[in-house]
Chains A and B, each alone.
Chain A
Amino acid sequence: MPNMRVITSGLEFPEGPVVMRDGSVILVEIMGERLTRVHPDGRKETVAKMPGGPNGAAMGPDGKIYVCNNGGFGWTDINGSWIPGPVKHPADYLGGKIQRVDIQTGDVETVYDRCGAFELNGPNDIVFDRQGGFWFTDPGKRRARDADAGAIYYCKPNDGGIVEMVHPMDRPNGIGLSPDEKTMYAVETPTCRAWAFSLSAPGVIQPPAKAYRRDKGLVIAGLGGYQMFDSLGVEASGNICVATLVKGAITVIAPDGKIVEQVDTGDHMTTNIAFGGPELKTAYITLSGKGQLVAMDWPRAGLPLNFLNK
């Protein structure tokens, strides 16, 4: 792959990259069950052990890294790549949680493990709004014969409580906010669809006037063929850049749903993208099949993230 620099290898299913101001990248290793800091020279340092399945991460208003923990996967080696699936024994699943990590001490604290009557299943990706509230996806867990319905949650600022905002969805994964924070984007894995939800206020969804069923948002894009969406990063332009499985690419989708481009990455299990570097024009991408964190020069700048870049 031209324009691709391997920052580090040997990562045990990397995800949730957060590009820090000092140039290091903090990310999770789902199979490795840890929060890891990757230094620019490729050196890896464990920030915290995170039993279960740390799946997504974002910098919070308090300087702590907030982590979606999916409770754990079972792993199968298929053609040299570790593929996540249902846990092999029920006791291996530790339950879904939102946690926060003090990156100086490595202390891990659970913030939420349920919403009302229901336990969280498998939280995946997370984004903070400028008020300090955050949205996260929960694709649910798959078991041998059945699977949870997926959901999107909103957590109010200052540990103000958790609300289930959209349920059911088909395994929602990546989540992000438009530059003006009036739209929340969530992408579904098996259906390879990108949904846009109108926000009438922080944490408040305004459903569309007319929907096919009782959809609370609109599908802005659905890739055909056999591809699936994983996590995403947003550009300053408002484009959403979605890690695309099977195809092994980043799919760039304009706010009106048009496909701008697909940038091949060479890994079927391309799982996430985050922006950093000068002018936020470096894309850091987690290649989970190869176990690598790579960097690519990006033609357009990433969107500054709350509490991280601004």
Chain B
Amino acid sequence: MPNIRVLATDLEFPEGPVAMPDGSVILVEIRGQRLTRVYPDGRKETVAQMPGGPNGAALGPDGKMYVCNNGGFTWTTVNGRNVSTAAASDYKGGSLQRVDLQSGKVETLFDKCGEFKLNGPNDLVFDKGGGIWFTDLGKRRARDMDMGAVYYVKPGLKEIIEVVHPLQPANGIGLSPDEKTVYVAETPTARVWSFEISGPGQIAPVEVIYRGEKGKPLAGLGGYQMFDSLAVEANGNICVATLASGCISVIAPDGKLVEQVPTGDVATTNICFGGPELKTAYITLSGKGQLVAMDWPRPGLPLNFLNK
């Protein structure tokens, strides 16, 4: 792969990369059950042990790293790569946590919403008010699986609401530059849904397309591909890590597919932007266990509390 620089190897299913202002990249290792800092020279340092399955991360207004913890997976190996299957045998539920980057202390903010436990929190994004949108992929068990969902934690982080349920397993999440739209990527269907935000944690109703969908199906890839996590560009394009085909799919705000950038790993799981002008894409290749960097033709969107 031209234009791909391997920054770190032997990561145990990396995800949730956050490109820090000092040039290091903090990410989770789901199988490794830790929050890890990768230095520009490739050195890895454990920031915190995170039992269960730390799955997504975002920097909060308090300088702490907020983490979606899916509660853990059972792991197997297919064609030499780590593959998650059902919930871990010691799975007790999912949670939203935060980590003090200096001390490594982990605290749990939420493990349920109303009467329902969080199942498999996956990815998250802060809005400018300090509220958090996050996805719940659900868990797979031997014979059944949870429906996916989207939750919102109100600014102040004391109250959580369920905004969208049911979805197919919901994975990547991001906000448009004007924060009037929230994008959610569904894994098995390789669809991106867009929801118009009418207030903090509120979505505007849409005309019924078929059977009660709550958002607009913005884009759906054909073939045999699945969506994982995502990041947004400054121009509003949505860059979605794409499984099976092993690439980053760039989708314009009108739903058109701009391009697919191959990464060489069928388990390409996430992307974030950093470096000068936010024109470096940091991508987690979870099949190979690597964090890589690519020059990106267009700058990433500055993230709240991280880049602005």
Contacts and interface: CB of A to CB of B under 8 A. Distances in A.
A190 B189 contact: yes
A193 B143 contact: no
B307 to A, nearest CB: 33
B79 A149 contact: no
A213 B143 contact: no
Interface in B138-159: 138, 140, 143-147
Task: Say which size band chain B's interface belongs to.
Answer: 20 to 34
Contacts of A223: 220, 222
B146 A146 contact: yes
Contacts of B1: none
A246 B210 contact: yes
Contacts of B166: 142, 145
Nearest to A170: B188
Interface string A22-62: 00000000000000000000000000000000000000000
Nearest to B267: A212
Interface in A80-119: 83, 85, 118
A79 interface: yes
Given A190-B168, A226-B209, A246-B209, A145 B189 contact: no
Contacts of A245: 210
Given A170-B188, A222-B224, A145 B79 contact: no
Given A79-B208, A190-B168, A212 B145 contact: no
A58 to B, nearest CB: 26
A226 B220 contact: yes
A149 B143 contact: yes
B209 A193 contact: no
Nearest to A148: B144
Interface in B103-142: 116, 138, 140
A2 interface: no
Interface string B174-194: 000000000000001111000
A146 B147 contact: yes
Interface in B39-95: 78-79, 83
B147 A145 contact: yes
A85 B211 CA distance: 10
9 contacts: A78-B208, A85-B211, A149-B144, A191-B190, A223-B220, A225-B217, A225-B220, A226-B217, A246-B210
4 closest residue pairs by CB, A with B: A224-B222, A226-B217, A219-B224, A222-B222
Interface of B: 78-79, 83, 116, 138, 140, 143-147, 165-166, 168, 188-191, 208-212, 217, 219-225, 243-244, 266
